[in-house]
Structure 1
C-alpha cells in the first residue's frame, strides 16, 4: 500500500504535521524558525533508508541545504531585530529573508539541490517534499515579501521549471521541474491573497497525489518504462488525463486555478508576467505530451506477449479523479458566467 507506514514513520509524520502548525501559528520569527527546525529534523528520518544508498545521500544533502537556509534565515532575522529602526535596510532584509525561504522550498534560482534529492526518494517522500514542505516557507514569506524581487523569482521559476524538463529521462526529476514551474503559480497566488494560494495549492496537491500514487503503483521511475511495459489502455488514458491536467490544459480541472490566477494578474496589469507564465506552461505541456506520445504509439511484437491489468480497488480512486478532471471545466465555467 502507498500509505503503509510503520509506527516510527507515523510518529515522525505527526511531528512533521505539528511542526508546520507551530511555524505558521507563531507570533514571532524565532518561533517560526524553531518550527522549521523541528520540521527538518522530523523529515530526515522519513527519507533516510539504510538499505538504499541514494536515499541516505539524499537525506544528508537535504539536511545540509536546509541547515544553510535556516542559518541564513536566523542571521537576517536577528539583524532585522537589531536594525529595526533603519528603514533603508528593510528592503535588503526582505530580499534576504525571502531568499532563505525560497531556498528551503527549492525555488529557482536556489533549486539546484531539489532535482538531485528528489531522485533519491520514494514516491511518498516525493509527494511530501513537493507539497507539504512548501506550506511553511510560502506562508512565512507572505508575511514579509519584496514585491519586485518576487516578480523576478516567478519568471525564474516558470522558465527554469519548463526548460529544465528537457532531456530528462527520470520521471522523478521531471516531476521536480514540474513542481518548480508550479511554484511560480503558487507565489503569484500568494501575492494576490492567502486564500488564492490555498485554492491553487489544494488543486496542485490533489493532482500530484494522483500522479505519485500511479507511478508508485506501477513501480515506474523512468520514461522508457511507460512504453516498455505494455500497460492496459485505460491506465495509459488515466496517465494522459492527469498529465494534461497537471500541465493546466483546458478543459481539464488543472486549468481552473490557473485561469483564476490569470484573471487576477490581468486585472492588476501584470501582462508580461502573465505572458511568460502561460508560455512556459505550454513548454511544460510539450514534454508531457512527448512522453505520452511514446507510451501510446510505441508498439512492437515483443510487447504483445505480456499486458499489465491492475485489479485493485485503489484504481477506482484514480478513475474517480480522472473523471473529475475531464468534467471539471464544465462545472468551473458556471463561476465565470
Structure 2
C-alpha cells in the first residue's frame, strides 16, 4: 500500500484517537477518542479492490451502531441510574468483533488491503479492551463462545483472510481471559500484533490470499521458511513466541481458578493449531518444482524471524525466574 501524505495524516489521527481513549479520565472523552479513530480509519480503508467501498460502508454502519449504544449507556449511567452495564458491554463487544458479534468482520475483511487489515486487528482493539477493564462483569460465557467460534469456524475456510480473522477472534478470547490483569493482556496484544503484522505483510508481499496458493507459489522458497515459522508461532507451537504468550495466559487462568475457560481454551487451541498446520503442510509436503535443499539457503528475513521466534520463550522464562 502506497503511503501518501493524506494516509499518513489519517493514520496519525487514528493513533491520536487511541491515545485520547487511553489518557482520558471519563467516559465521554473515551467516546470522543473512539469516534476520532473511527473517522480516521475510514479513509485508510480505500483501495483498488472492488469491494473496498462496500467494506468501508459496512464498517461505518456497524461502528456507528455500537457508538450509539455506547452513548445511550453513558446517558443511562448519568441520568436514570438503570442497569447500563449490559448496554455498554454489548457496544464494546460489537466494536471488538468477538463472538457472537463477529459476523461483520467476515464481510469486511475481504475488501481490505494490507495496512487497514493490520490496523483493524491490532491498533483498533486497544481502546475497547481498555474500556472492558473498567466494567465489573463476568466474561466467562463470552470467552468460551469466542474461543469455540474462532476455532471451529476457521477449520473449513479456504481464504487466508478469513482464517486470520477467525484466528483473531480466538486470540481475542485469550485476551479477554486475562483482561483483569493489565500487564498480561497488554503483553499478549503487543506480541500477537507483531506476529500478525509479520504474517500479513509476508502473505500480501507474495500475493497469497487462498490456501491452495501455498502450493503454487514458488517465487521465493527462502521466504517460505519465514511463513512456516510465523504460522507455527501463530498456532502456538512450542518453543515459538506464540506459545510463550499462551503459556502466560494459562498460568493466569490456573492462578485465578478459571477452570472451564482453561479447558475450552486448550481444546480449541488444538483446532487452531490444526488449520495453521494444514497451511504449513500444504506448503512443505506437496509437490514442489524447486529442490528441497534450496530451503536451507535462508535470507536475512528468515534468520531474523527464526531467532525472534525461538529465543523469546527462553527469555520470558528467564525473566520469570529472576522476577
TM-score by length of 1: 0.89
- The 5-angstrom pairing of residues 203-222 of structure 1 reads 203-222=191-210
Unaligned runs of 5+ in 2: none
2:159 is matched with 170
* Alignment check: 8 A CA contact 1:123 1:215 kept: no
1:253 to 241, 264, 270: 241
1:135 is matched with 126
2:305 is matched with 321
Tell me whether 1:66 sits opposite 2:63 in the alignment: yes
CA distance in 2, matches of 1:316, 1:252: 18
2:44 is matched with 46
* Alignment check: 8 A CA contact 1:107 1:157 kept: yes
Q: How far is 1:129 from its partner?
A: 0.4
CA distance in 2, matches of 1:318, 1:197: 28
CA distance in 1, matches of 2:312, 2:42: 37
1:239 is matched with 227
CA distance in 1, matches of 2:14, 2:302: 26
Q: How far is 1:119 from its partner?
A: 1.1
1:157 is matched with 146
Q: 1:318 to 1:117 in 2, by over 3 A?
A: farther
Deviation readout 1:271-317 (Å, 9 max, x if unpaired): 111110111111000011111111112216xx459xx99x9xxx634
- Total equivalences in the alignment: 318
Q: How far is 1:208 from its partner?
A: 0.6
CA distance in 1, matches of 2:25, 2:79: 18
CA distance in 2, matches of 1:153, 1:53: 34
CA distance in 1, matches of 2:153, 2:114: 20
TM-score by length of 2: 0.93
CA distance in 2, matches of 1:318, 1:13: 29
1:83 to 80, 100, 111: 80
Q: Deviating runs (4+, > 4 A) in structure 1?
A: none
Q: CA RMSD in A?
A: 2.1
1:295 is matched with 283
CA distance in 1, matches of 2:300, 2:179: 33
2:105 is matched with 114
CA distance in 2, matches of 1:115, 1:319: 33
* Alignment check: 8 A CA contact 1:189 1:200 kept: no
Tell me whether 1:12 sits opposite 2:10 in the alignment: yes
CA distance in 2, matches of 1:262, 1:253: 15
1:101 is matched with 92
Report the 3-state secondary structure (helix = DSSP H, G, I; strand = E; otherwise coil) of the residue aligned with 1:53: coil
Tell me whether 1:229 sits opposite 2:229 in the alignment: no
Q: How far is 1:336 from its partner?
A: 4.8
1:330 is matched with 314
* Alignment check: 8 A CA contact 1:241 1:326 kept: no
Q: How far is 1:95 from its partner?
A: 2.1
1:196 to 160, 184, 198: 184
